[in-house]
Amino acid sequence: MTTHLPKLQRLSERVFRVLGCNPGAVTMQGTNTYLVGSGNRQILIDTGEGVPEYNDCMKQACLQLNCSIQEVIITHWHLDHSGGVSDIRRLTNSVNLKVSKLPRVPFQEETIDYGGGYTFVSHGGLITTDGATLRVLHTPGHTDDHMALLLEEEGAVFSGDCVLGETTAVFENLRDYMNSLKAIMNLVPSLIYPGHGPVVRNAVGWLKNYITHREQREMQLLSAMQAEPSHSYTPSDLVSIVYTDIPTNLVRLAIINVHQHLTKLEEEGKIVKVEGGKEEQWRCHL
């Protein structure tokens, strides 16, 4: 059952959520953006994707909190997190608004559509404001530049799209992603403020479930392939076997995840890629 999220909600004495007003199959009820701090200058984590309704909500939030935006942190390059930067700049009436993120790996130049550039931060760096200290955590896997943030005053983690409040996340590199999940779990966070979905109160348990789910999915894929070891499988083939009750609108995301599982299994020498054919295929070792 999906938890209803209000467009504006105070979550703690130093965290206020503004919903991105961009619901969808991938974004769920919308992208969570967060105003962080306790003073009249606060940090904004993520910006949504540039929806007029979100801009109105952000104005209301700033009025309610009697604050302005000190700077912006982008958890990763996906447009549902970074696409609203220009609107936030106009809202703050500042062409010099500082917008920080981790660099892409390998590095590539990135510009913001109003013509400015990002300030690149690094793993372990601190970003501070009145009442809040945020420690940058490089958590690749969902994307190569993905950032989580440890809110040191609460022992809580802003997880971006590494961990969601409901359901599981997609990723572009499974090995990196699993390492990032374990790194966050090792922090023993008090709770998780995710990029989508409700606050995760049982943070360590939720992270364990995420890790276990991926491990179980890997075993399901291997078992399916081992049932007919001489047969070659595409990611689409395996989705139809393993994901038996998936909604149609999520099939594409499942195919992406299965492709990453197969790539990881190939790197570990557990399966081999079969050359030829229009779609990538893998089989067990004969």
Residue 224 DSSP code? H
pLDDT recorded at residue 278: 81
- Give the pLDDT score at 276: 77
pLDDT at residue 1, as a whole number: 60
Q: Which CATH fold would you assign to the domain 8-201?
A: Metallo-beta-lactamase; Chain A (3.60.15)
Question: pLDDT tens digits for the chain (286 residues)?
Answer: 678 999 999 999 999 999 999 999 889 999 999 999 999 999 999 999 999 999 999 999 999 999 999 999 999 999 999 999 999 999 988 778 999 999 999 998 887 766 578 999 999 999 999 999 999 999 999 999 999 999 999 999 999 999 999 988 989 999 999 999 999 999 999 999 999 999 999 999 999 999 999 999 999 999 999 999 889 999 999 999 999 888 888 899 899 999 999 999 999 999 999 987 788 999 997 6
> Where do runs of H (alpha helix) occur along the chain?
52-65, 79-82, 85-92, 174-186, 203-227, 235-242, 251-267
- Does CATH number 1.20.1050.10 belong to domain 213-284? no
**Dihedral (Cα; 3, 161, 246, 242), 10-degree rounding:** -140
> Any idea how long the chain is?
286
What long-range pairs does 3-11 form, CB within 8 A, spacing at least 24? 3/165, 3/166, 3/197, 3/198, 4/29, 5/29, 5/30, 5/32, 5/197, 5/198, 7/57, 8/57, 8/60, 8/61, 8/64, 11/193, 11/199
Q: What is the reported pLDDT for 164?
A: 97
What's the pLDDT score for residue 226?
Answer: 93
Q: Where are the domains of the chain?
A: 8-201, 213-284
